[in-house]
C-alpha cells in the first residue's frame, strides 16, 4: 500500500509541471537502501539427552538356600580362591580331612554365615571376611578362650569397648551375633581402607592395625604371602590366620577338589533382630511369652549372661525372621532374676562344700569345657574349699 501511494503523487506533480518552467534538475537523491531481509534465526541446538536416572541398587534379599549363599560369597572373593601356597595347602588338608564333617559344620552355621554375608555386601567388603568367624570360633556366639577373647569374632574386652560394644557382668555384646558382626565389619572396613588389601586387613584384625602399619611402612615393597611370612615381623599365628581364610575360600569355591559336598540345597532360616521393651526378665520367660523354643533362643542370645535380661542389659534380641512379628507391641514378661554378676573379668565362684565343676557350670549356664579352659583345669581336677573359679573368659 505505501508504494502505490508514492507513485500517485509523482503523476500529479508531472502534470502540473508542464504549465511552468522547470527548475534546474536536482542532484538525484541517493538511493535509500532497502532493509536487508532478516536472516533466519539459527535452529536451536537439540536439547541434551536427559541421563537415565541412577537408582540405588536395592540390597539383595537374604539367601534362603545354601546355593545362594555360596554363589554370592564366592562372587565377592577379592582373590582367586585357590592359590599355590604350601601353608594354605596344609590348612586345606586339615579342614578337608573329613569332608562329611566339614559339610555338616558349614550347614549348622548357614544362618549366621548368611547374616555375615549381608554385612559384607552392605559394606562392600571382600567375601573372604565372611570366613573369618570360621577361623575364629566356627561361628559360635558363646565361644570363649583362655586369653579372654569372646564370641563369633573373638574380640578382647578393650577392642570391643573401643568398637562400641558393651562388656559388662550382665550383658556382653561380644556374644550378640548381629551387634558383634556389625562392629567387626565396621572395623574391617577401616582396616581395608587403610591397607587396600584384604590380607593386610586380616593381619591388622589379628595382630593390631598399629603393628601392621609399622611393618608395612618399613617394608613397603614386600608382597603379602602367608607361606613366605611377608611382610616380615609378625607372629606365625597371624600368617596362619590368613592361610586359614585362603584355605577355606578354596574349599567353598571348589569343594569337588576335596570330595566335599556342600549343603547347596539346605534351607537357610534368615535371622532378624528385635528390640525388647525396657525392664527386666529372662530369656526363658520371653520365649514362653512369644511361644518360642527357649533352648534355641538362648543359643542365639548368649550375650544375656545366665539367660537374664537385666534392666541395664542391651535390648537387641536375635530371633528367626519369621518370628519377628511376635515382638510387635511385645510386653516384657516379669520374671524373678538373680542378683547381677560383677563386671566381666571379675566374675567368679568361691568353691563350697559339695561343689563340682559340672554343678558350677550348670548353675551359671556356661559350658563345662569353657569353665575348664578359663581356669586351666582338667576334667579330673579336684576342687578345694575356698578356691576361686572364673566364670568368664
Q: What is the pLDDT of residues 81-137, one digit of tens each?
A: 998 889 999 999 999 999 999 999 999 999 999 999 999 999 999 999 999 999 999
From the list 152, 168, 210, 162, the residue with the least C-alpha distance to 186 is: 162
Measured between its terminal Cα atoms, the distance across the chain in Å is 110
Please, what are the domains in the chain? 66-141+176-258 (no CATH), 271-327 (3.10.350), 348-390 (3.10.350)
The DSSP letter of residue 305 is G
Residue 1, pLDDT above cutoff 90: no
Residue 48, pLDDT above cutoff 60: no
**CB-based contacts of 356: which residues, under 8 Å, 6+ apart?**
383
From the list 378, 393, 365, 382, the residue with the least C-alpha distance to 160 is: 393
Distance CA 351, CA 113 (A): 39
Residue 43, pLDDT above cutoff 80: no
Identify the three-state secondary structure at position 383. coil
For 233, the grid coordinates are 615381623
Backbone angles phi, psi at 135, to 5 degrees: -65, -40
Comparison of pLDDT for 213 and 361, the residue scoring more: 213
Only one residue has cell 537523491, namely 29
Please answer whether residues 282 and 317 qualify as being in contact, where contact means their C-beta atoms are separated by less than 8 angstroms. Answer: no
Q: What is the mean pLDDT of residues 296-310?
A: 94
Please answer whether residues 83 and 282 qualify as being in contact, where contact means their C-beta atoms are separated by less than 8 angstroms. Answer: no
Q: What is the mean pLDDT of residues 197-216?
A: 96
Distance CA 314, CA 333 (A): 16
Confirm whether pTM is higher than 0.85. Answer: no
Distance CA 170, CA 161 (A): 15
From the list 136, 122, 107, the residue with the least C-alpha distance to 76 is: 122
Share of the chain above pLDDT 90, in %: 64
Least confident of 44-48, 74-78, 278-282: 44-48
Amino acid at each position: 500500500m505505501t508504494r502505490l501511494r508514492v507513485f500517485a503523487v509523482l503523476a500529479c506533480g508531472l502534470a502540473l509541471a508542464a504549465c511552468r518552467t522547470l527548475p534546474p534538475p536536482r542532484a538525484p537523491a541517493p538511493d535509500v537502501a532497502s532493509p536487508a531481509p532478516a536472516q533466519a534465526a539459527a535452529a536451536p541446538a537439540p536439547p541434551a539427552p536427559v541421563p537415565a536416572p541412577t537408582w540405588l541398587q536395592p540390597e539383595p534379599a537374604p539367601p534362603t538356600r545354601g546355593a545362594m549363599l555360596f554363589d554370592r560369597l564366592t562372587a565377592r572373593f577379592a582373590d582367586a580362591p585357590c592359590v599355590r601356597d604350601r601353608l594354605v595347602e596344609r590348612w586345606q588338608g586339615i579342614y578337608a580331612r573329613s569332608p562329611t564333617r566339614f559339610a555338616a559344620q558349614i550347614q549348622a552355621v548357614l544362618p549366621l554365615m548368611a547374616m555375615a554375608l549381608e554385612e559384607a555386601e552392605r559394606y562392600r567388603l571382600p567375601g573372604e571376611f565372611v570366613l573369618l568367624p570360621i577361623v575364629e570360633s566356627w561361628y559360635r556366639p558363646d565361644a570363649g578362650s583362655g586369653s579372654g577373647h569372646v564370641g563369633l569374632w573373638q574380640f578382647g574386652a578393650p577392642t570391643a569397648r573401643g568398637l562400641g560394644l558393651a562388656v559388662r557382668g550382665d550383658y556382653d555384646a561380644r556374644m550378640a551375633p548381629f551387634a558383634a558382626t556389625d562392629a567387626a565389619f565396621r572395623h574391617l572396613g577401616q582396616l581395608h581402607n587403610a591397607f587396600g588389601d584384604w590380607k593386610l586387613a586380616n593381619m591388622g584384625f589379628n595382630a593390631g592395625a598399629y603393628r601392621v602399619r609399622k611393618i608395612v611402612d618399613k617394608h613397603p615393597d614386600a608382597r603379602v604371602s602367608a607361606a613366605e611370612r611377608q611382610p616380615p615381623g609378625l607372629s606365625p599365628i597371624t600368617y596362619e590366620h590368613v592361610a586359614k581364610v585362603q584355605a577355606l575360600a578354596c574349599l567353598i569355591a571348589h569343594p569337588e577338589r576335596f570330595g566335599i559336598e556342600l549343603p547347596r540345597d539346605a534351607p537357610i532360616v534368615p535371622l532378624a533382630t528385635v528390640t525388647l521393651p525396657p525392664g527386666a526378665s529372662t530369656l526363658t520367660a520371653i520365649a514362653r511369652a512369644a511361644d518360642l523354643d527357649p533352648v534355641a533362643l538362648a543359643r542365639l542370645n548368649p550375650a544375656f549372661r545366665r539367660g537374664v535380661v537385666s534392666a541395664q542389659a542391651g535390648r537387641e534380641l536375635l530371633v528367626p525372621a519369621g518370628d519377628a512379628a511376635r515382638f510387635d507391641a511385645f510386653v516384657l514378661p516379669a520374671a524373678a532374676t538373680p542378683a547381677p554378676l560383677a563386671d566381666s573379668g571379675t566374675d567368679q565362684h568361691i568353691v563350697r562344700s559339695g561343689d563340682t565343676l559340672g554343678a558350677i557350670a550348670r548353675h551359671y549356664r556356661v559350658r563345662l569345657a569353657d569353665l575348664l579352659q578359663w581356669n586351666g583345669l582338667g576334667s579330673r581336677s579336684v576342687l578345694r574349699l575356698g578356691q576361686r573359679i572364673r566364670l568368664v573368659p
